[in-house]
A and B are shown apart, each in its own frame.
Chain A
Amino acid sequence: MKPFVRKAGIGMFAAAFALAMTGSTVAPAWAADPGVSDTEIILGGTHPYSGPASAYGNIGKGIGAYFEYVNDHGGVNGRKIKYIDKDDGYSPPQAVQLVHQLVEQEHVFAIFDTLGTAVNTAIRPYLNQNNVPQLFVATGATTWGKDYQKFPWTIGWQPDYQAEAILYAQDIVRSHPKAKIGVLYQNDDYGEDYNAGLKKGLGKHADMITKMASYETSDPSVGSQIATLKAAGCDTFMIFATPKFAIQAMVLAAQQSWHPLTYLNNVSNAIPYMNAAMKAGGPSAVNGVITTYYLKDPANHARYAGDKGMKLYFEIMDKYLPKGDKDDGNYLYGVSIAYTMVDVLKRAGKDLTRKKVMDIATHLTESDNPLAYPGVVIKTAPNFRYPITQMIAAKWLGTDWSPTGLLVDTRSMMTTAEK
């Protein structure tokens, strides 16, 4: 690098340079793992509290609430959890800068539950280079489970989008072998993952897919797409969409007098959304819709009236987030994933190291998550990093989801390693 300043500047520049050298000897000292003291474990995370994905900010709040609850009940092996959660605005550069700050300034022990595929992809190389655990990322992209050899410090949590689509495909092949499938999907990696799963699950029946219509998150309405699918003669409707568009899709289908057999991805199946669709499109918009579950639905007051896990959830919400909307599944997701995090820290014991925590996270069998759907076991192995693979299919009958059949496990369908 050639200094472009003139002579007068060069001496000054050189001096500054020397200063800079001495100052930057803050070489990362990972030997004694940062973020753990006798009294405290520091975890860091980022969520979108502003910008287009702000709805998911409540996940971060749910996590914070659960950690407070744990701290008020003695903490984890005598230590309190300090959770530093920042607003990344759903922007990858912003998230990368914040994660640098969390690691280098706040000296977090691990990064926990950063949200979004792009954000997590952006921060993954840095965290892995510095051996900082990137635990339980909040996205269902396949890469978290598949690319662990390249990124050993990273692990997902929620079911893989592909796995979910495979389940729907199998259900169609089994019970509706003559279906003509129409797909509405969000035009990004999230939608593409679902499409890939659907094709994988249909296997040699992939020609059942009659028409695919994509939408952009910038579209005001999906009316045109619905008309296209209807016109193609589809009788089975896959909705691979985020809540707003999923609601629209169900309502518009009913308004266009199209009544296919509908499969709805679980991102959008919370009861408040179904009620919104029912209000706008009438009962025929939602009746008979099929979806899957892996967590309890906080809006389903009747089903979980006496449930111990839900009692805990409401207790936490009442105490730590009294103004939060308890029916919002994002809070419940947060509490549930934070439970797994605490579980891992507890099992890691008093001598906490990053390596040990990663080890526990990849040898996990957690069968008592209070907010997972009854029977769902969160299970990992060093070469199997899809923690949640079990789901229950459910059908909307009248006012509520009603489970059909037993828990299904997609474990055997997951790609376990990238060559």
Chain B
Amino acid sequence: MHDLAQQIVSGLATGSIFASMALALVLIYRAMGIINFAQGELAMFTTYIAWQLTQTGMPMLAAFGLTIVIAFIGGVALERIVVRPVERAPQLTVVIVTLGLFTVFNGLAGWFWGYVVKSFPTPFPTSPLQIGGIAFSAQDVGVIVVSLITLGLISLFFQKTKIGLAMRAAALYPEQSRVLGIHVGWMLALGWGLASVVGAISGIMIAPVVFLDPNMMQSVIVYAFAAAVLGGIESPIGAVVGGLVLGVVLNLLGTYVEAIGNELRLAAALAIIVVVLMVKPSGLFGRTTVQRV
């Protein structure tokens, strides 16, 4: 029983990693209806920027704050320069562009900072915590709390602010929004900026756990996809819940189901993606349905 609880807690910790990354994927999907394969690499790159800033002696939280600003500007700029021209191109073109961004940012990080694994500072205490014999770390709790706060802020932003509402309108009904005087192009850029910010927060939260290297996100991104699909790819709350559920489920499958073991986790994630998309494409929390032909 105690072992089971420990596996669940450990799964929640890993799941929070998936959740925070899935949140960024969902934001882009909501804003533009595309899946950004480069999302993980962008998050990794901004995390390196944060690391670089802390190396200059800047206080940790100031460095994180500045990184978030940089991430926002970078996200907007990327949309304007690279994504905008292909906005109306076929989906395939957009997919290839995001794969190109994936390659570029992975290569740039290796070029600038090398491939040696680095530790990343954490704002949370490192000493272990225990409740009823179940051990966890402040970092684990921190990642979950920060993900929930991010989720709350995003929901508020989309539901209560004018600009948030305009963004949703632009994503759902671009033509009508244009008529209403909403600058659709900038709304999309803003969507990229926001997703990039959430990615940066995610990277900063994840890096103390998985450690910093240019390939750090490649082991996260597929699970983040699975989490987003599981929760419903248009639902921010679904992304967070999906991530946590996925973390726990994978741990339990790995520990207690001999046939899957630790070896076939990726296969399990793949199965979850395929099954959810086939059986309930809107996921646990989504409302819209996937178009089928």
- Which residues of A are at the interface with B, using a C-beta cutoff of 8 A? 50, 52, 54-55, 57-58, 187, 213-221, 223-228, 230-231, 243-244, 247-248, 254-258, 272-273, 275-277, 279-282, 325, 328, 330
Contact = CB atoms under 8 A, between A and B. Distances in A.
Chain B binding surface, main DSSP class: helix
Contact of B119 (A214, A215, A280): A280
A297 to B, nearest CB: 14
Interface of B: 2-3, 6-7, 10-11, 13-14, 17-18, 107, 110, 114-119, 121-122, 126-128, 130, 135-137, 139, 208-211, 213-215, 218-220, 222-223, 250-251, 254-255, 261-263, 265-266
A275 B250 CA distance: 30
B137 A247 contact: no
Contacts of A52: 215, 218
Contacts of A50: 107, 110
Contact of A54 (B110, B118, B263): B110
A228 B211 contact: no
A280 B220 contact: no
Contacts of A54: 110, 115, 214-215
A214 B122 contact: no
Contacts of B219: 217-220
A231 B6 contact: yes
22 contacts: A52-B215, A54-B115, A55-B114, A213-B262, A220-B220, A226-B10, A228-B255, A230-B6, A244-B211, A247-B119, A254-B128, A255-B126, A255-B137, A255-B139, A256-B135, A257-B135, A272-B116, A277-B119, A282-B126, A282-B127, A325-B116, A330-B116
A225 B262 contact: yes
Given A255-B135, A276-B119, A276-B211, A220 B262 contact: no
A245 to B, nearest CB: 9
A223 B135 contact: no
Contacts of B250: 224
Contacts of B2: 231
B7 A224 contact: yes
Given A50-B107, A54-B110, A223-B10, A216 B263 contact: yes
B114 A58 contact: yes
Contacts of A227: 3, 6-7, 10, 255
Given A55-B114, A256-B135, 12 more contacts: A216-B265, A218-B219, A220-B210, A220-B220, A226-B10, A247-B117, A248-B210, A255-B137, A256-B136, A275-B119, A328-B116, A330-B116
Contacts of A220: 14, 17-18, 210, 219-220, 223
